[in-house]
Amino acid sequence: MYSHHIALSTRVSFPCESDMPWHRLNNQLCYLLIEVHLIVIIISLFLIGYTDATRKALWEEGGQHGFESDPKMRIYFYANYLQPPEIPFIWSRRYTEFNLASGIFTLCLFLTRQLLALATSTSMQTNIYLLSCVLLFWVMSCISQRSPDYSDPDYSSRVPWYLNHSCSIASTQNRAALGYVSWVLILVSYVVLDSSVITRCWASKLFPDHLASQFGV
């Protein structure tokens, strides 16, 4: 009597199924969730909340209190056929578009990193390179958030007025708070990405052959 043995097929493991301690996976998932929330909030803020009307209202508010240049004074230049000074970057549309583009670029690279993690094993150096590209944008964004307003020599300002004064003095307190929150969110994004890059650089020196976690930030 013959006994037939059916060989069971070996289960194929995917790259994302890595042997890692649960506490490490839990920490990396926390990083991932923090980054996702920051990206979505920043994109929503500069797409819906920080509009041209909000930016113009904040500029006029600072001019009325004498904290910086007054956009209404530009009418004087137009009335006298004079070339008005260039609009400060912090009050220009380029500022909003740059921060919005930074958020969208960060989202695209975030999705790229996660797709690479699911498709293949991503090296630590690749993750560091991608994170460094994103970090560069947020460094420039942090600098632009504190850009000066020197368009009026009599009322020059090194930083936006809502970063140096309380939002309660403004007639549009919600918009002033929105400007301050945008600065805080971009600063937090920079800190999160910077800590992630530093952690991975430190880990790559200790474990040069270790592959980056598939759930890492």
123, 15 in Cβ contact below 8 A? no
- The pLDDT value recorded for residue 204 is 66
- The pLDDT value recorded for residue 172 is 78
Residue 15 has pLDDT above 50, yes or no: no
- The pLDDT value recorded for residue 91 is 92
- The pLDDT value recorded for residue 150 is 92
At 96-112, the pLDDT tens digits run 899 889 899 999 988 88
With a pLDDT cut of 90, the percent of the chain lying above it is 19
Taking residues 10-30, what's their average pLDDT? Answer: 52
At residue 157, the 3 state secondary structure works out as strand
Taking residues 78-86, what's their average pLDDT? Answer: 85
Compute the distance between CA of residue 50 and CA of residue 162 in angstroms, rounded to an integer. 14
Tell me, rounded to whole angstroms, the distance of Cα 52 from its chain centroid: 20
130, 112 in Cβ contact below 8 A? yes
- The pLDDT value recorded for residue 158 is 92
DSSP 135: H
**Nearest in space to 109 (alpha carbons), one of 189, 173, 181:** 189
Show me where the domains of the chain are located. Answer: 28-206
Annotate 32-78 with three-state secondary structure. HHHHHHHHHHHHHHHHHHCCHHHHHHHHHHHHHCCCCCCHHHHHHHH
Instruction: Please name the residue that has the structure tokens 């991932």.
Output: 32
Residues 6+ apart with CB under 8 A from 140: 98, 102
209, 130 in Cβ contact below 8 A? no
DSSP 150: -
At 157-198, the pLDDT tens digits run 999 999 988 888 888 788 888 889 989 999 998 888 888 888
Dig out the tokens for 4 from the structure. Answer: 């037939």
Compute the distance between CA of residue 136 and CA of residue 41 in angstroms, rounded to an integer. 19
**CA-CA distances (angstroms) from residue 104 to 135, 146, 193, 198?**
13, 21, 15, 23
At 122-136, the pLDDT tens digits run 677 788 888 888 888
- The pLDDT value recorded for residue 32 is 81
Compute the distance between CA of residue 134 and CA of residue 118 in angstroms, rounded to an integer. 20
In this predicted model, which residue has the larger pLDDT, 176 or 26? 176
